[in-house]
Structure 1
Amino acid sequence: MSLFDDTYRTIAEPADGIFRDKGSKFIAYAYPFRDENKLKEIIAQLKAEHPKARHHCWAYRLTPDRSIFRFNDDGEPSGTAGRPILNVLLSQDITNVLVVVVRYFGGTLLGVPGLINAYKTATQEAIDVAEVVERTVNNVYAVHFDYLQMNDVMKIVKEYDLKVLSQNFDTSCTIHVEMRKLQVNEVVGKLDNIEGIEVDYLRTI
């Protein structure tokens, strides 16, 4: 992602696809995915739903700049499952997505080319039916100010249509606001121009 690009592609809702070859069945489940800690929970849920399946192979990409990825062959020959799943995510240029492919073995070995094709095709089937959407890369900032400065701060929030994620109004006030990456310099610059206001970067989402 370039410095001036503040959008990325992902999927809006979970989707699934299926591919069959020589008796084996490959069911791909695609999920919008932003938290690596949810991986074990999703895998455990699929294993409970498919207790007789031989393999649960997966791959994911994370973050708007697509810098984090992982994949797992779950007992299939190295490079025949997780990597082909990941390659579909790469070729579709989507991120914040997890795909798990559940395989039921049909009794006939497919060989390396057959496995690569099966995992790739099942994943592609799921992505094809998913709604691919464009999201903006947003930064979250904490803004600290005195109660008397409330009108000045909220005027800027309204002017730029910023999303307020949380607020705490007392003698000293704090709000957490979400803004598009491309807006950051302008908005933070305006806030910094108001005397006594502190603006702290929290995270990118």
Structure 2
Amino acid sequence: MNSNDSTATRYTVLAADSVHEVEIKRSRFITYLFRVESEADARDRIAALRKTHFDARHHCSAFILGADRMTQRSNDDGEPSGTAGIPMLDALAKRETPDGSPLSDILAVVVRYFGGIKLGAGGLVRAYSDSVSQALDAAALIPRQRLRIFTLAAPHALAPRYENDLRAAGYQMETTEWQAQSALLHVGIEDTPAAAAQLAEFIATLTSGAGTALPAATTWADLA
């Protein structure tokens, strides 16, 4: 499913890739968190880590993709079935985020260097789950919002003031097109009827009723 066709309007993503390591009974668990856009992207990252950590016993993984989180995959990579990939996936899927939106477009890979002490099934589940949870604790997360882009035609002389006032009011301003007869401002808002009505009211006041914002395409943007 394309993100623009999603029923969701907001979710959470990594602000930056990160790595976190813990040691449990002499085994090293190195958790890599990556922001990924597709299943192919996720698998390329996993393959690259296999080369980097060629001497590690396990490269377990889990990832979630899309605004609606329709794609979810996990892999135990040689650990007993259900003791690595699924606990990792659960840690991603159930993560509480600052604004309550679900976490997605994320890949977790836990590289394990075996330390000689077996952890047992329960111990492995806890180790892999905790490794991902601790990595998420240390990671920076940001919301990602689906925006509806509206266009507003403005006289050249008034466009800079309109743009400044819209930006000061908290609206997401995209690139302005300077055309022969006027400037075309592009304003991004949350893709909801309530937000559209609020924008229409603001623009009516801003332009003394002379301007009208027209809906255009949708896009996704990080709200840093």
Whether TM-score is above 0.5 comes out as: yes
1:114 is aligned to 2:123? yes
Separation of aligned partners in 2, 1:34 and 1:46:
14
Q: Is the 8 A contact 2:173 2:186 kept in 1?
A: yes
1:16 is aligned to 2:26? no
TM-score by length of 1: 0.70
Q: Is the 8 A contact 1:88 1:120 kept in 2?
A: yes
Which residue in 1 is equivalent to 2:31?
Answer: 28
2:55 aligned counterpart, secondary structure: coil
Separation of aligned partners in 2, 1:50 and 1:101:
11
Higher mean C-alpha displacement, 171-180 vs 68-77: 171-180
- The counterpart of 2:189, out of the listed 179, 186, 192, is 179
Separation of aligned partners in 1, 2:185 and 2:60:
42
Separation of aligned partners in 2, 1:48 and 1:149:
58
Q: Is the 8 A contact 1:145 1:198 kept in 2?
A: no
- The counterpart of 2:151, out of the listed 136, 140, 143, is 143
Query: How far off its partner does 1:178 sit?
Result: 3.0
Which residue in 1 is equivalent to 2:3?
Answer: none
The count of residues paired between Structure 1 and Structure 2 equals: 199
Which residue in 2 is equivalent to 1:203?
Answer: 219
- The counterpart of 1:38, out of the listed 21, 37, 41, is 41
Change (3 A) 1:102 1:175: farther
2:109 aligned counterpart, secondary structure: strand
Query: How far off its partner does 1:39 sit?
Result: 1.9
Q: Is the 8 A contact 1:64 1:137 kept in 2?
A: no
Query: How far off its partner does 1:58 sit?
Result: 1.9
Separation of aligned partners in 2, 1:38 and 1:174:
36
1:117 aligned counterpart, secondary structure: helix
Higher mean C-alpha displacement, 87-96 vs 172-181: 172-181
Separation of aligned partners in 2, 1:113 and 1:124:
16
Change (3 A) 1:39 1:163: same
Separation of aligned partners in 2, 1:61 and 1:149:
47
What is the one-letter code of the residue matched to 1:122?
Answer: S
2:107 aligned counterpart, secondary structure: strand
Query: How far off its partner does 1:25 sit?
Result: 2.3
Question: Which structure 2 residues correspond to residues 51-70 of structure 1 after superposition, within 5 A?
Answer: 51-63=54-66, 68-70=71-73
Separation of aligned partners in 2, 1:199 and 1:7:
19
TM-score by length of 2: 0.65
Specify every segment of 5 or more residues in structure 2 that has no aligned partner in the other structure, as ranges.
1-7, 98-102
How high is the sequence identity, in percent, across the aligned residues?
A: 28
What is the one-letter code of the residue matched to 1:143?
Answer: T
Query: How far off its partner does 1:188 sit?
Result: 5.0
Separation of aligned partners in 2, 1:51 and 1:173:
56
Residues 111-153 of structure 1, C-alpha deviations (whole Å, 9 max, x = no match): 432321221121122123234x453634141527476797396
Separation of aligned partners in 2, 1:12 and 1:148:
37
Specify every segment of 5 or more residues in structure 1 that has no aligned partner in the other structure, as ranges.
none
Which residue in 2 is equivalent to 1:48?
Answer: 51
Separation of aligned partners in 2, 1:139 and 1:164:
11
What is the one-letter code of the residue matched to 1:71?
Answer: S
Which residue in 2 is equivalent to 1:160?
Answer: 169
Which residue in 2 is equivalent to 1:76?
Answer: 79
